[in-house]
Amino acid sequence: MTPDQIGFALLYLGLFLLIGKWIRVRVKWLQALFLPSSVIAGFLALLLGPQVLGKIMTPITGEDSFWSNGVMTQEMTEVWAALPGLLINVVFATLFLGTILPGLKKIWHIGGPQLAFGWSLGWGQYVVGILLALFVLGPFFGMPPMAGALIEVGFEGGHGTAAGLQGTFEEMDFAEAYDLAIGLATVGILSGVLIGIAFINWGVKKNKTEIIKDVKEQSKIKRAGIVEFENREPAAKMTVRPESIEPLSLHIAIISAAILVGYVLLELFIFAEATIIGSDLMTYVPLFPLAMIGGILVQLFFTKIDNTEVIDRRMISRIQGFSLDVLILAAIATVSLDVIGDYLVPFLLLAGAGIAWNVLGFFVLAPRMIPTYWLERAIGDFGQSMGITATGLLLMRVADPETESPAFEGFGYKQLVFEPFLGGGLVTALSVPLIYEYGPLPFLGFATVMLIIGLLVGLLYFGKKKE
């Protein structure tokens, strides 16, 4: 593969993003679903790629024809397939860069109810998934117990986490888990938005919401994903002078340093484990959760030495958002439809079980765990448990457009404790290797204990408080 082919594949990716945004602006029903342009572009690329258009055209034009790969080349799809596993490191390294880490008391007071609820949903996905794998997927479909972790990996973790674990799945002779996890992540985003909007409408009709009274209040330009002229703000701040270093270059360099710190930490863990214990479990752990820890360490370093605050959170967010857009597009465009077709019934069972648990949690647990603004706050955690953090933020924005409730602040504080473990954190990264190495029962027992802790704290402590 030549540098020109790699460069052209990236240019083509940008073109699909642009087309995805154009479709988002023009198609009303996609606006009603609040689908990100990257998801639309990913589906479009999947349809026009080798797995759909290519298979349709091959009997007509022959296997050697350009059309056998759809509108793409084989080299292009190979480049795209490698991108999610690389860009997930950027997404996680940027989670805490440019943020002020608050005190534990404030995190606990404001973010505690949402942490207890989100914690219960996340660990519950493991409990439900592993039980499903032990009693249904294994005996009837011959799937390994590791399949039980795919609900949390696909729903809480999303496309990026699934992509980051691709190498881990391959090393454990469960390569098809990557495509199943990507499929679950796609189902999670779609159903998360659809069900979440339905829940908000239900809340409005049943007087469960305290902020909005009509979901259709948004303007047409806002539904199209365009910021109104009067509400437009700078995408980032110029914290350094361009003649010294371009601000974007500086922030990319800082992110690079965070990822390298994570890489060094991972290598140290691998070395220590091999030397002290004599095992190789850490070799199965991907880089991205350690890149997140690297980001925290780099942020702490800059907090200590930098009095000029050169790290701008908005700039970091823009880089993170770009990486996530490209990651989602590439992951959906290269997912194997053949694998999902071969495992269609197990795939539907995993998706159905995950959705059912999250819906049950929203209606049964959230009102009893969150003392005030329960729907505005719980809808964000529900969205994240269905389809990554962005889905939760989107649903909270619909339920609380002017940030009048503690939902956003509580959600942000919750992430400081939640993300290092679940939703793509260390537990998500280690769950599959741990089940592979020690079997499903020890991890099921641990997940059950964590679920019980979340339930007890949420129901018996925060649920009894009235702010």
Please name the residues in contact with 405: beta carbons below 8 A apart, sequence gap of 6 or more.
Answer: 210, 211, 372, 373, 376, 377
Among 183, 312, 167, which residue's Cα sits nearest to residue 252?
Answer: 312
**Domain residue ranges of the chain, discontinuous segments joined by +:** 1-72, 100-214+265-309+336-467
pLDDT of amino acid 455: 95
Please name the residues in contact with 377: beta carbons below 8 A apart, sequence gap of 6 or more.
Answer: 113, 114, 366, 370, 396, 405, 406, 407, 410, 411
Q: Could you report the per-residue pLDDT of 384-396, keeping only the tens digit for each? A: 898 766 677 667 7
In angstroms, the Cα distances linking 146 to 14, 55, 96, 411 are 35, 31, 30, 30
pLDDT tens for each residue of the chain, 467 residues long: 788 888 888 998 999 999 999 998 888 877 776 677 887 898 899 889 887 888 888 887 777 777 777 888 888 888 888 887 788 788 878 877 887 766 777 778 878 898 999 999 999 999 999 999 999 999 998 899 999 999 999 888 877 778 778 888 888 888 888 888 888 888 887 788 788 878 887 887 788 777 666 555 556 666 666 767 666 777 778 888 888 899 999 999 999 999 999 999 989 988 888 888 877 667 767 787 788 789 889 998 998 887 778 889 889 988 988 887 888 788 778 776 776 777 889 989 999 999 999 999 999 999 999 888 888 889 989 988 987 666 776 677 777 766 677 887 777 777 767 877 887 777 888 888 889 888 999 999 999 999 999 999 999 998 887 54
Cβ(335)–Cβ(182) under 8 Å?
A: yes
pLDDT of amino acid 466: 58
For helices 313-333 and 176-205, what crossing angle results, to 10°? 120
pLDDT of amino acid 74: 82
The pair of structure tokens assigned to 455 is 């339930």
Among 328, 379, 373, which residue's Cα sits nearest to residue 358?
Answer: 379
Q: How far apart are CA 123 and CA 423, in angstroms?
A: 10
Q: How far apart are CA 213 and CA 205, in angstroms?
A: 8
**CA trace torsion 14, 19, 21, 24 (10° rounding):** -160
Q: Could you report the per-residue pLDDT of 102-133, keeping only the tens digit for each? A: 677 777 887 889 899 999 999 999 999 999 99
63 SS3 class: coil
